[in-house]
C-alpha cells in the first residue's frame, strides 16, 4: 500500500488537529475555497456572493464550526471582553448590578470577565492579570483603585469606568446616582414629616458614594435650619451598622428620631437592632431610610423607605461610555449623574 507515503514531503501536514476542533482552513479545504472566503462568510460587512456564503454557513453549521474568538482577537486587536472589577458581593445591590451588566453586555455582543476583590483586598493586584488578557475596557464598582493603576490603564489605552463611585480624575469616567441631591431630598422629607434629630450611618468615610450622600443630607438639613445630630460608621455591612447603631442608642444620645443609612443593607441592620433590642417603634419613634432599593427593602416585614437607584439606566450609561474611549474634558464632564427617586414605604 502507498497509503502512508501519501504526503511524502510535507513536513507537518496534519489536516485534523489534535484538539478535534475544526478550523476555517479545514472547512475551506473541504469546500474548495480559500480560508479568507470562509472568514468573509461570517462577516456581514464583507462582499461575497450570497450563494457561496450560504453554502459555507450551512456546512459550517453542520460541522459545528465557529470562528475562534481568540485568534480573531489577536488579529483585530480587540477581544470583545470587558472586565468588571467588583468588591462587596455581600451587598445584594451588587449582584443585581452584575446580572444587569451581564445582560446588557451580551446584548452588545461582548463578554464579561469578572474579578471579585476579596473583602480586605485591593483591586490593584488584579490589574496586571486583567490587562494581560487585553480587555477592551474596565468597569470598577465598589472597589478601590490606585491612581497609579488608573493611569497604567491610560497608557495602555484601556477605557476605565467607575460605577457607583466618583473619582477626581478627568481621564476616567464615573457613573453615579445624583447622591447629593437625593441626600438632600431625604433630609427635606424627614424634616417635613416632623423629625428633629437625624443621624447618619456611613459606609466608609473615604468613599464618594457615602460622602456625597452625607454632604447632601447635611445641606438639606441646614436648608431647614437643622444640623446632623450623629454620624456613625457601619462599614457597609448589616452587622457593622447594627452594632454601630446599638452603641449610638445605648449612649443615651439626645433622642434620635431618624436614621439615614448609606445603603439598604445597613438600614436592615439598623431595623433589626431597633426591633429586636429596643422598645422603640418604627416609624413612630424612629424613622429609618436606606439607599439602593434592593429587593429585600420591599419585603413587607422590612417595608423600608429608601432611595431607588436606577440600575438599568446607570449601566446603560456605563456601557455607552465604554465606546467613547477616554473622557476628553474636565472632571465635571467625566461624571454622569443619573437621577434617583425616593420610595416611601413604612419605615419613614
Partner DNA sequence: CTCACATGTGCACACGTTTGCACAGTAGCT
Partner DNA sequence: AGCTACTGTGCAAACGTGTGCACATGTGAG
Within the chain, where are the H helices? 24-31, 35-42, 50-63, 69-76, 93-107, 126-132, 147-156, 179-192, 208-223, 238-250, 264-277, 311-322
Shortest CA distance to 134 belongs to which of 181, 209, 83?
A: 83
- Residue 138 beta carbon to DNA: minimum distance, rounded to whole angstroms: 19
- Under the binding rule (CB under 8 A), the answer on residue 50 touching a second copy is no
How far apart, in Å, do the first and last CA atoms of the chain sit? 90
> In 110-128, which positions are buried (b, 16+ CB within 10 angstroms) versus exposed (e)?
bebbebbbeeeeebbebbe
**Binding residues for a second copy restricted to 86-125, rule: CB under 8 A:** 89-90, 92, 94-96, 98-99, 102-103, 106, 111-116, 118
Distance separating alpha carbons of residues 307 and 262, to the nearest angstrom: 10
Distance separating alpha carbons of residues 336 and 313, to the nearest angstrom: 11
- Under the binding rule (CB under 7 A), the answer on residue 8 touching DNA is no
Give phi and psi for 26, each to the nearest 5: -55, -50
Residue pair 95/86 in contact by the 8 Å Cβ criterion? no
Task: Determine which residue in the list 15, 16, 21, 250 makes contact with a second copy, applying CB under 8 A.
Answer: 21
- Under the binding rule (CB under 8 A), the answer on residue 276 touching a second copy is yes
- Under the binding rule (CB under 8 A), the answer on residue 252 touching a second copy is no
- Which of the listed partners (a second copy, DNA, none) does 115 bind, with a CB threshold of 5 to 8 Å by partner kind? a second copy
- Under the binding rule (CB under 8 A), the answer on residue 312 touching a second copy is no
Binding mask 222-251 for a second copy (x = CB under 8 A): ----------------x-------------
Distance separating alpha carbons of residues 20 and 200, to the nearest angstrom: 61
Of 47-55, 154-162, 209-217, 328-336, the segment contacting DNA by CB under 7 A is: 47-55
Report the interface residues with a second copy, using CB under 8 A.
Answer: 19-21, 64, 66-71, 73-74, 77, 79, 81, 89-90, 92, 94-96, 98-99, 102-103, 106, 111-116, 118, 126, 128-129, 131-134, 152, 155-157, 238, 268, 272, 275-276, 295-296, 299-301
Report the interface residues with DNA, using CB under 7 A.
Answer: 11-12, 14, 17, 19, 21, 23-25, 32-37, 39-40, 42-43, 46-50, 52, 65, 67-68, 71-72, 74-77
Amino acid at each position: 500500500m502507498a497509503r502512508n507515503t501519501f504526503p511524502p514531503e510535507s513536513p507537518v501536514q496534519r489536516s485534523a488537529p489534535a484538539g478535534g476542533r475544526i478550523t476555517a482552513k479545514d472547512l475551506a479545504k473541504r469546500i474548495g475555497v480559500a480560508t479568507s472566503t470562509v472568514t468573509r462568510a461570517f462577516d456581514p460587512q464583507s462582499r461575497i456572493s450570497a450563494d457561496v456564503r450560504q453554502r459555507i454557513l450551512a456546512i459550517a453549521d453542520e460541522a459545528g464550526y465557529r470562528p475562534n474568538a481568540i485568534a480573531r482577537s489577536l488579529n483585530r486587536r480587540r477581544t470583545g471582553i470587558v472586565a468588571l472589577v467588583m468588591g462587596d458581593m455581600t451587598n445584594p445591590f451588587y449582584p443585581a448590578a452584575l446580572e444587569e451588566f451581564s445582560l446588557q453586555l451580551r446584548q452588545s455582543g461582548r463578554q464579561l470577565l469578572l474579578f471579585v476583590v476579596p473583602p480586605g483586598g485591593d483591586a490593584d493586584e488584579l490589574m496586571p492579570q486583567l490587562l494581560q488578557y487585553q480587555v477592551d475596557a474596565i468597569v470598577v464598582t465598589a472597589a478601590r483603585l490606585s491612581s497609579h493603576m488608573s493611569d497604567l490603564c491610560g497608557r495602555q489605552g484601556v477605557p476605565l469606568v467607575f460605577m457607583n463611585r466618583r473619582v477626581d480624575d478627568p481621564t476616567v469616567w464615573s457613573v453615579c446616582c445624583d447622591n447629593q441631591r437625593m441626600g438632600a431630598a431625604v433630609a427635606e422629607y424627614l424634616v417635613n414629616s416632623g423629625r428633629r434629630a437625624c443621624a447618619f450611618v456611613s459606609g466608609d468615610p473615604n468613599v464618594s458614594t457615602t460622602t456625597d450622600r452625607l454632604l447632601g443630607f447635611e445641606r438639606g438639613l441646614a436648608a431647614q435650619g437643622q444640623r446632623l445630630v450623629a454620624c456613625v460608621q457601619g462599614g457597609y455591612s448589616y452587622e457593622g451598622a447594627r452594632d454601630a447603631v446599638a452603641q449610638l442608642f445605648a449612649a443615651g444620645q439626645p433622642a434620635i428620631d431618624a436614621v439615614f443609612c448609606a445603603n439598604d443593607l445597613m438600614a436592615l441592620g439598623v431595623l433589626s437592632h431597633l426591633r429586636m433590642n429596643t422598645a422603640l417603634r418604627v416609624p413612630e419613634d424612629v424613622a429609618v431610610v436606606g439607599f439602593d432599593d434592593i429587593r429585600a427593602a420591599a419585603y413587607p416585614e422590612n417595608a423600608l423607605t429608601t432611595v431607588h437607584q436606577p440600575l438599568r439606566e446607570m449601566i446603560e450609561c456605563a456601557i455607552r461610555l465604554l465606546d467613547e474611549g477616554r473622557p476628553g474634558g474636565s472632571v465635571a464632564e467625566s461624571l454622569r449623574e443619573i437621577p434617583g427617586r425616593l420610595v416611601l414605604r413604612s419605615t419613614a
